[in-house]
Amino acid sequence: MLIQILITGFVKGGIYAVLVAGLSLMFGVARILNLSYTGFFMLTAYMVYIFSNFTSVPLIIACPLSILGTTILGVVSYRLIIDRVKAHELTVMIISLALSMLFQEILLIIFSGDFRGIPPFKEGFFELGGVRVAYQKIFTIIVSIGVIGALEFLLARTRLGVAIRAVAQDRETANLMGINVNRICLITTGIAMALAGIAGVMVSPLLPLEPHMWIPPLLVILAAIVLGGLGSLKGSIIAAFILGYVETLVVFLIPLGAYLQGAFVLGVMAAVLIIRPEGLFGLVFEEERL
């Protein structure tokens, strides 16, 4: 059973990791908690659904197009709405939440609340240590590792990455050093929205598509961000895996209480915060950002 818990938890955590990376990046750099993140994730999923059901565009083209569409929409919404109120954290949270609800209601009007589905890129599964893992999940984890690696490379090895880190660490000094902070925030939002799009493309074939599908993942990734330490990308990703394991343990150890997964996730988060208020990899010093 231990091996099965290890494998199942890793698969769950890997899927949460791809979801959490973008929001954590956006929070770390732009310092905004954009709660519309999973709303954009949902929009991408619906775009893929539209392409695959109402057009003859092959999936290999439909997916990049959907990611591009989400990125553009995310950047435009940042520029038109979030950017204007970003100085007020609570306003950003409420407005971004309202944006997701707006997406939800629009999708509800167009597609109704019926459950829909996107076909996986590859049907079937393989068995590892007694656990049947769908190919789509393995594909998602591989992409998630690739995306996190690429993000790490971008942040550590490129000029843009240096600029992003500089803004994340101290935006005033970065500004004095000639970095256009607003542009970096916009670029970071674009990257984060592209990550939401990638997550939408990868994860949505695993989920029933319906206009409220943005809510459950938002809860988990917010818990991961807080548990990992606000602003720490590394912490968020590790927390995503921890939460994946918490959920798995709940199902394996108390099957009758499988519905309590969300409660346990929040419970673990609260317990860690009581002992370590800054989270697992929280920032004691501003310089540790990213």
Residues that bind other proteins (CB under 8 A): 1, 4, 8, 11-12, 15, 108, 112-117, 119-120, 123-125, 130-134, 137, 206-208, 210, 212-213, 215-216, 247-248, 251-252, 255-259, 261-262
Spatial CB neighbours of 206, under 8 Å, sequence gap ≥ 6: 15, 120, 134, 136, 137, 140
Closest by CA to 5, choosing from 247, 248, 240, 241, is 248
Are 168 and 290 spatial neighbours (Cβ–Cβ below 8 Å)?
yes
CB count in 10 Å sphere of residue 133: 17
Q: What's the closest the beta carbon of residue 157 comes to other proteins, in angstroms? A: 35
Q: Which is nearer to other proteins, 120 or 161 (CB)?
A: 120
Q: What's the closest the beta carbon of residue 53 comes to other proteins, in angstroms? A: 9
Q: Which is nearer to other proteins, 38 or 77 (CB)?
A: 38
Q: What's the closest the beta carbon of residue 52 comes to other proteins, in angstroms? A: 11
Q: Which is nearer to other proteins, 29 or 250 (CB)?
A: 250
Q: What's the closest the beta carbon of residue 238 comes to other proteins, in angstroms? A: 20
Amino acid letter for position 176: L
- What's the rounded Cα separation, in Å, for the pair 143 and 140? 5
- What's the rounded Cα separation, in Å, for the pair 185 and 32? 10
Q: What's the closest the beta carbon of residue 30 comes to other proteins, in angstroms? A: 29
Q: Which is nearer to other proteins, 127 or 287 (CB)?
A: 127
Q: Which is nearer to other proteins, 4 or 175 (CB)?
A: 4
Cα–Cα–Cα angle for 78, 12, 35, nearest 5°? 20
